Amino acid sequence: MSFVVPPFPSFDPDLAARLQARIAGKAKPPGSLGRIEALAVQISLIQGTETPRVDAVEAYVFAGDHGMNADGVSAYPSAVTTAMVATFLAGRASVNAFAAACDVSVRVVDAGVDADLAPHPALIGAKIRRGTRNAAVEPAMTDEELDAALAKGAEIARGSAADALVLGEMGIGNTASAALIMHRLATAALGDCIGAGAGHDAEGLARKRAVLARAAARSAADTPLDVLREFGGLEIAMMTGACLGGAAAGKVVIIDGFISTAAALAAIRLAPGVGDRLVFAHVSAERGHRLMLQAIGAEPLLDLGMRLGEGSGGVLAAPVVRAAARLMRETASLDAVLSGSLLS
């Protein structure tokens, strides 16, 4: 394994104290802006400044296919992944509509789509292989493939010129991989981790549960790298690298829903300090997401009953993140208001 997990030391306590005093001294009753105040402090600590700025926001939709889908873990065929990538690039998916409304740019990352994709200005070609192997019968990827996915995700995040990154995904069957990652790294009962995904009926959900039980019985992996190798998706592993690389570069990394949180969970288990540098956008309606957030002590910003993926919830949280940064940077202090100095 050549990928090096970056260190994440604790935030500067002196800066943290100054930021708390700064937010408490704004022209408003203390605590009156609720969670936005804590978010403003977090963003400032991530950027290491009392005057944070979140202007440019980019959403990265990591796409990959899953070998387990051959056993029916999704209600849809793997070809839908390729079709949705084309929809993202055409600007016609839900995440594109939300991104246009929220002034967020969208890029698609081919981490492991089972198709040859034509070049496109918004497409990052990072394919490790055409989909993972079937994790119900063998490891989803090799050590070398996992290493390459982690490194590429970190490289993409570090290379972004944006202040904040939204991490989203597309991959038919990836709720199955995310459920197995949650089962092992959040130490939750497998049944509590498995939801309907893209829309299983009762028969399909029973089939999904049976396939995941076979996968879990096949391997006792319980460390982050082993779990990613045995059960992960290439897009999930690449998002794990992006969590680590983006946070190490001082970027605000916004985590979308169930699958993105599984990637963040793996990153946190690899480097516990990275959790303080991640912003969790929303709680998904997908079974298991709320429990996974609780397992890592994350409090999401929004609860909209969404379970689409694509980075859609992360994009909708971007204006809240921008607002929190501007609160810290632009809102006057109560002392300045009372002194009348703002009018001079």
Q: Kind of pairing, strands 252-255 and 164-170?
A: parallel
The answer to whether 299 is a known catalytic residue is no
Q: Kind of pairing, strands 278-280 and 57-64?
A: unpaired
Structure tokens at 80: 């839908």
Q: How far apart are CA 281 and CA 271, in angstroms?
A: 20
Structure tokens at 48: 């290491």
Q: How far is CA 45 from the centre of its chain?
A: 19
State the sign of the Cα–Cα–Cα–Cα dihedral 289, 290, 291, 294.
positive
Catalytic residue among 155, 169, 310, 330: 310
Q: What is the dihedral of CA 53, 306, 65, 109, to 10 degrees?
A: -20
Q: How far apart are CA 343 and CA 332, in angstroms?
A: 12
Q: How far apart are CA 340 and CA 239, in angstroms?
A: 49
- Where is 15: in which H helix or E strand? helix 13-24
Q: How far apart are CA 233 and CA 63, in angstroms?
A: 9
Q: How far apart are CA 63 and CA 2, in angstroms?
A: 23
Structure tokens at 150: 């982690």
Give every strand in the sheet of 57-64, ordered side by side. 123-125, 105-112, 57-64, 164-170, 252-255, 278-280
State the sign of the Cα–Cα–Cα–Cα dihedral 333, 338, 341, 342.
positive
Structure tokens at 51: 């005057």
Give the number of other CB atoms < 10 A from CB of residue 153: 32
Name residue 253's beta-bridge partners.
Answer: 165, 278
Q: How far apart are CA 338 and CA 17, in angstroms?
A: 23
Q: Which residues are part of the catalytic machinery?
A: 310
